[in-house]
């Protein structure tokens, strides 16, 4: 995802536009449609951050289950099949499940913020 920033020169700022001043000393003006676009972009950025945090957490869950699965006693295979990695955010995602042979099956495509 790319973030596009527009920087206007002072001559391009129309006198009636609301003025926005950032905490870094940057001052600019936005008309209503630009302000709505900015708000939309910030919300999208929030979704990207949440999605990346969810995927990083899923990676950790997968890693933990993948390292522990081979250590589980074989017995009938039922104990190995009981290995389950779950992530809960707004709903429950089954990230990884143990197999009888000590491997895991992974499922992350359905994760969404």
Mean pLDDT score, 22-40: 68
Residue 37 and residue 70 in contact, taking contact as beta carbons nearer than 8 Å? no
User: In this structure, is residue 52 part of a structural domain?
Assistant: yes
User: In this structure, is residue 69 part of a structural domain?
Assistant: yes
Mean pLDDT score, 46-56: 85
User: In this structure, is residue 4 part of a structural domain?
Assistant: no
User: In this structure, is residue 63 part of a structural domain?
Assistant: yes
With cut-offs at 50, 70 and 90, classify the pLDDT of residue 30.
low
Which domain does 92 fall in, by range?
Answer: 15-106
Tokens at residue 42, please? 């910030």
User: In this structure, is residue 100 part of a structural domain?
Assistant: yes
User: In this structure, is residue 89 part of a structural domain?
Assistant: yes
CA contacts within 13 A on the Cβ side of 10: 2
Does residue 4 carry a pLDDT above 50? no
Does residue 11 carry a pLDDT above 50? no
Domain count, the chain: 1
Residue 95 and residue 108 in contact, taking contact as beta carbons nearer than 8 Å? yes
What are the φ and ψ backbone dihedral angles of 108, each rounded to 5 degrees? Answer: -120, -5
User: In this structure, is residue 67 part of a structural domain?
Assistant: yes
* Global pTM value: 0.60
Does residue 13 carry a pLDDT above 70? no
């Amino acid at each position: 995802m790319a973030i596009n920033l527009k920087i206007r020169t002072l001559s391009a700022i129309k006198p009636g536009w609301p003025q926005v001043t950032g905490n870094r000393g940057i001052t600019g003006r936005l008309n209503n449609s630009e302000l709505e676009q900015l708000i939309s972009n910030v919300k999208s950025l929030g979704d990207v951050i949440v999605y990346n945090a969810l995927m990083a957490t899923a990676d950790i869950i997968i890693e933990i289950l993948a390292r522990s699965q081979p250590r589980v006693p074989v017995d009938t295979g039922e104990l190995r099949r009981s290995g389950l990695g779950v992530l809960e955010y707004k709903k429950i995602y089954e990230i990884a499940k143990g197999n009888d042979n000590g491997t895991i099956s992974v499922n992350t495509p359905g994760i969404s913020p």
